[in-house]
Amino acid sequence: MDDWEVAEQKWEGLSYPVSLSAGPGAGQEVQTENVTVAEGGVAEITCRLHQYDGSIVVIQNPARQTLFFNGTRALKDERFQLEEFSPRRVRIRLSDARLEDEGGYFCQLYTEDTHHQIATLTVLVAPENPVVEVREQAVEGGEVELSCLVPRSRPAAVLRWHRDRKELKGVSSSQENGKVWSVASTVRFRVDRKDDGGIVICEAQNQALPSGHSKQTQYVLDVQYSPTARIHASQAVVREGDTLVLTCAVTGNPRPNQIRWNRGNESLPERAEAVGETLTLPGLVSADNGTYTCEASNKHGHARALYVLVVYDPGAVVEAQTSVPYAIVGGILALLVFLIICVLVGMVWCSVRQKGSYLTHEASGLDEQGEAREAFLNGSDGHKRKEEFFI
């Protein structure tokens, strides 16, 4: 093509024409610069003129339609505006850039020899906010699979997953649709009831976005789990005549929509009012004592909570406290009598047993010697005789 040539620039799997400097025969009388713009943005295309002598200058779009002829509009496209026309340069401004605007813009200078250069306009497409979906309902103890889709970007967007300020490893795929790319990513992880309401972020980035910027979508985890129940009493100590309110605090996903109140194997008192999570017991009496339960269930399980009611009777407590001193005095007297009897028995036993202390020496045919007298005398009949001596 005359004295200019086109090279191919490889970028993210795409190729675009890039103009190079004109050959020596062109005399460098026209120079251009390549321009990159994000879709919907503003691009400025500049043709620099050297040794301009007032000759005709024509600017054409990639379809070789004339936009401006010597500073005069030729194409009725208001998105193109002539910003400057001087002996040194011609500058046009393109608003709301579109993919179809991409290509080579011709700057032609008509003198004795026609000189022209091409300014290549590249239009990038920034990703929109990703679309995040869940494959199936997440249940406690199982896995959840999330998908993130960016249907349109150029170059292909890079997708990343984040959870609790940590990056999750996803599996990405992309597909080219004309000049744009469709990119998707999936991620799987195990969940528990504590993960319900947690945030998972899908982030998309490419060169069409300003440096350090990205498009993000937050997905709120919906983890279903079996219910739990716990009863809270309006007061710790209940007396006769008081009104007690029991509240059944229930959790679960889906949340149980019905709560049942019971009292052991008995029916609830006639005065009791059970409305949803609350059970009201007005004018308490001792007959209301018992074990009260609240029950809740959903499709994942059943929960039950217990509360033991003991009504405090001040009159009975006062009577019991009054009888306590007499019982204590009676117990002390009984203990004293028992001790006295034990002492008397011991004295009698000692008086009978301890008549004296003595030693018994048994011998046959002993010689007369030692500190004691002879204890036994030898008899002719061969029988032993015994003497006792008190010491």
Least confident range from 41-45, 166-170, 209-213, 381-385: namely 381-385
Instruction: Decide the pairing of beta strands 215-220 and 199-205.
Output: antiparallel
Peptide bond into 256 cis (omega under 30): no
- Output the pLDDT for position 339: 85
Q: What is the pTM of this model?
A: 0.66
The 10s digit of each residue's pLDDT in 67-116 is: 999 889 999 899 999 999 998 999 999 999 999 999 999 999 887 777 78
Residue 358 reports pLDDT greater than 80: no
**Are 234 and 219 in contact, with CB atoms under 8 Å apart?**
no
Retrieve residue 31's tokens: 């120079």
- Output the pLDDT for position 344: 82
Average pLDDT along the chain: 83
Q: Which domains does the chain show, CATH number per domain?
A: 33-124 (2.60.40.10), 131-223 (2.60.40.10), 226-309 (2.60.40.10)
Q: Assign 147 a pLDDT band (cuts: 50, 70, 90).
A: very high
User: How many percent of the chain have pLDDT more than 70?
Assistant: 79
Nearest Cα to Cα of residue 149 among 169, 132, 171, 166: 132
**Are 209 and 202 in contact, with CB atoms under 8 Å apart?**
no
- Output the pLDDT for position 203: 97
